[in-house]
Structure 1
């Protein structure tokens, strides 16, 4: 597939089978939002009540306990987000793979196929999360330790420079590793490999195609993030301006318009967030299939599979791992993305 086809294929995936695909993305966004609200709203109500009723002697202890519980409770929406995000990746891989074979699966079928690989997907997502948190903790630890040892201005300036350089190096390393390992979820689902085997497989498939893969991920990310920010922020800004025009004194009308704008902004954020998550997950699956076409002749295998299926001949899974040995010849017409 050409670069242009790859660029727009994730959007066509959403258009081809919108109900189950967008529905899954929406469920993921709603699950994260509901989990966050269910945890933090009651806690904040209780915490504010305790802080307001606390005496001056107990205020510091109450504040410390509140902060500690707040940090602990953030693990709940993070855990929900990890599971939901991993599941969305699995669903989108199944959807893209079935689309190349001309199949259109319903909501239940997509979920059932993805659920079979949810364990390794969650494991991989948690592994990535632990690495990211470890890097963040390392940077914070360097800043805190240096500030405690030598709090003068020159030392602080030196720490800032070191941290900025460290962040730049981590960003470059993260972009490289993120690109090389981007195909791990697709391998886990379609080839039913373990985490270690999927890491090796992703590394192998992206060898020689790093910049192409990196460019696609970056470009699609910029496109969807720009659209998302525009769609969400423009109504929010317009609502703020309208509230000020209708009620410059910030009275009841101002509050009503502000509340309405916040509700609209929240709904738009959930809807647009679902689309963004779906497109980004679908892109990785599309790149995975394209790289297998280029290096292993998967397009020919898919054509043979479809021909045999239409002829009534028993078929096997065409997305299974390629056999060891020389790569299959490439060529032939790629499946259409209609």
Structure 2
């Protein structure tokens, strides 16, 4: 059975049977007559390819007698004369292949780092009427709640220096700080889930060169939202349980050396699992799959490309951090020195609960998150698409969905 499902049409909810199996068994398909055969043993292609027609263009299907665009010649990531597959600049092509078709934000071929980052930024720039309202509203809600939580949960803490604190005051301060951190993190995660779900649907249409409104993105993302929350919670629970197994025995035994060893083993495992399952979110949303199947799909797509995905993910995180720092730092400085009492407020801790620093810091974070969240979500979605193009020939399905006829074939 074919275990490489097509990319479901945004807004649809195909059953497992609709996504798997031989297309010849389904009414209304041609049994894959227009999909070129993959050369046996070629390491660039999976032995099992997705059936044609799984990704249909969102929106109304034009009538049969509607004129179609003229057939396009075989492009860089399709079948070349003689029945061989190649890509622009590939072996035997000497870089003279025509450019790959680009109906939307990315060319339909394996993507480089620059193309993945550029596709994320291009979507935010081209489809800003849909992207910006989503991220701006969610970021505003997150920061308003965070400011209120930090103001009222930390307001009663003593403002004495660390040297003058009693043991009871130190414990209260640490407990309140941890509670605020946990609450803020939960709010951040929930907001990120909503943004990720909606932006994934916008990116799925942007790849085809199609626009998506905020209401359309919400309508298409909503059926999978609870599953996405479950996926996130399950991954977080697994990480916590893994930490408990590795670190808790040493802590209970009072052996600090064993605690350090467990922690050192826990951190790389968190990173490994994070990258291994980093593509589960787009797999869940775009394949309309279950949580377990999404984890399985991510593991399969990441296999053999872990270091590449890790490098791109880390670089994206560094870019996001630098953007956030450049945006937030000036607002924090204004809040502290103009409205928060300056350096003295930093020393005695009053800047943590003063309205001025909290509000200005929140404004800076709203702007930063409005910029950062689309880039991070876009990189994840495009990494998923890139891996499916490399392993499963998704470019052919995308070309059909974008209305490009005879893409990847030798005929006219």
Using the size of structure 2 for normalisation, the TM-score is 0.58
**Equivalent residue for 1:173, pick from 258, 269, 285:** 269
**Equivalent residue for 1:280, pick from 376, 392, 402:** 376
- Give runs of aligned pairs for residues 65-80 of structure 1, distance below 5 A: 77-80=184-187
CA distance in 2, matches of 1:82, 1:34: 15
Aligned to 1:21: 131
- Give runs of aligned pairs for residues 216-255 of structure 1, distance below 5 A: 216-237=312-333
**Residues 111, 208 of structure 1: alpha-carbon distance in 2 compared, 3 angstrom cutoff:** same
Q: 2:400 matched to 1:293?
A: no
CA distance in 2, matches of 1:261, 1:38: 13
- Give runs of aligned pairs for residues 1-338 of structure 1, distance below 5 A: 1-39=111-149, 41-42=151-152, 77-137=184-244, 141-142=248-249, 144-147=251-254, 156=256, 158-159=257-258, 162-163=259-260, 165-237=261-333, 260=356, 262-307=358-403
CA distance in 1, matches of 2:183, 2:339: 35
CA distance in 2, matches of 1:14, 1:303: 22
- The alpha carbon displacement at 1:274 in A equals 2.9
CA distance in 2, matches of 1:276, 1:247: 29
What count of residue pairs does the alignment treat as equivalent?
Answer: 284
**Residues 241, 31 of structure 1: alpha-carbon distance in 2 compared, 3 angstrom cutoff:** closer
CA contact (8 A) 2:278 2:298 kept: yes
CA contact (8 A) 2:276 2:298 kept: yes
- The alpha carbon displacement at 1:116 in A equals 1.5
Which region of structure 1 is more displaced relative to structure 2, 7-16 or 176-185? 7-16
**Residues 237, 32 of structure 1: alpha-carbon distance in 2 compared, 3 angstrom cutoff:** closer
CA distance in 2, matches of 1:241, 1:38: 21
CA distance in 2, matches of 1:170, 1:243: 42
Query: Could you give the per-residue CA deviations for residues 102-142 of structure 1, whole angstroms, max 9, x where no partner exists?
Result: 11111111111111110110000111222233345556634
CA distance in 2, matches of 1:280, 1:135: 26
Aligned to 1:327: none
Which region of structure 1 is more displaced relative to structure 2, 112-121 or 77-86? 77-86
Secondary structure at 1:307 match in 2: coil
CA distance in 2, matches of 1:248, 1:167: 35
Of Structure 1 and Structure 2, the greater helix share is in 1
**Residues 176, 137 of structure 1: alpha-carbon distance in 2 compared, 3 angstrom cutoff:** closer
**Residues 238, 28 of structure 1: alpha-carbon distance in 2 compared, 3 angstrom cutoff:** closer
**Residues 133, 212 of structure 1: alpha-carbon distance in 2 compared, 3 angstrom cutoff:** same
CA distance in 1, matches of 2:344, 2:186: 43
CA contact (8 A) 1:92 1:285 kept: no
- The alpha carbon displacement at 1:240 in A equals 5.3
Query: Could you give the per-residue CA deviations for residues 274-318 of structure 1, whole angstroms, max 9, x where no partner exists?
Result: 32222111110011111111111111211122227xx9xxxxxxx
Secondary structure at 1:117 match in 2: helix
